[in-house]
């Protein structure tokens, strides 16, 4: 929100998800209690846009501008194709393209898991960003982990312990009204 823009990113994402699922945001019944029909004009547009912007791994190549680097570029291209096949990069590209078509933008991240570089499309529902310009402010991803999962994760053990102690202290000092 700002002084000049009335925009709620959460409401926009909720609206997109509802329309793509064939649901009204105002409920499935009208004022008289009758079922409201949903005229689905969204799905075909979404599929068309997804297909129009489809990117395949065969389209990704490493090229060089200098003739003396052609052999090096060839080997780099072979290694890249091998990595894309191992990591099922084509499936990632399909998911990325669908999210891009659906929300008009998509955030991706590459994480190292078991000494492998894994690409992921981050769901918009788990992000906290500045909706007016996502590149200006920090991008925060909400992670939902149990205490056991957090302890077993690759995060700094001392920081995890401090976080859990702070949470226990906060909960013990809080009064919850039901």
31 Cα distance to chain centroid: 36
Q: Is the pLDDT of residue 2 over 70?
A: no
Which residue in this structure is represented by tokens 């793509």?
20
State how far the Cα of 143 lies from the Cα of 127, in Å rounded to an integer. 9
Strand, helix or coil for residue 33: coil
| Location of structure tokens 């949903």 | 38
Per-residue pLDDT tens for 81-130?
999 999 899 999 999 999 999 988 888 999 888 888 889 999 988 888 88
Residue 9 predicted with pLDDT over 90: no
pLDDT of residue 146: 87
Placement of tokens 């909706």 in the chain: 131
| Average confidence (pLDDT) over 135-155 | 85
């Amino acid at each position: 929100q700002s002084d000049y823009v009335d925009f709620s990113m959460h409401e926009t994402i909720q609206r997109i998800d509802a329309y793509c699922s064939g649901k009204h945001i105002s409920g499935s019944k009208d004022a008289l209690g009758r079922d409201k029909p949903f005229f689905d004009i969204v799905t075909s547009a979404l599929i068309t846009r997804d297909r129009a912007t489809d990117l395949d791994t065969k389209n990704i190549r490493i090229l060089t501008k200098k003739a003396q680097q052609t052999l090096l570029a060839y080997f780099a291209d072979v290694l890249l194709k091998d990595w894309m096949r191992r990591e099922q990069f084509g499936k990632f590209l399909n998911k990325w393209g669908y999210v891009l078509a659906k929300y008009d933008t998509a955030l991706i991240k590459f994480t190292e898991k078991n000494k492998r570089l894994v690409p992921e499309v981050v769901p918009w529902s788990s992000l906290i960003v500045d909706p007016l310009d996502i590149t200006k402010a920090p991008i925060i991803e909400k992670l939902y982990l149990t205490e056991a999962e957090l302890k077993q994760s690759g995060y700094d053990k001392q920081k995890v312990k401090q976080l859990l102690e702070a949470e226990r202290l906060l909960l013990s000092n809080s009064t919850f009204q039901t």
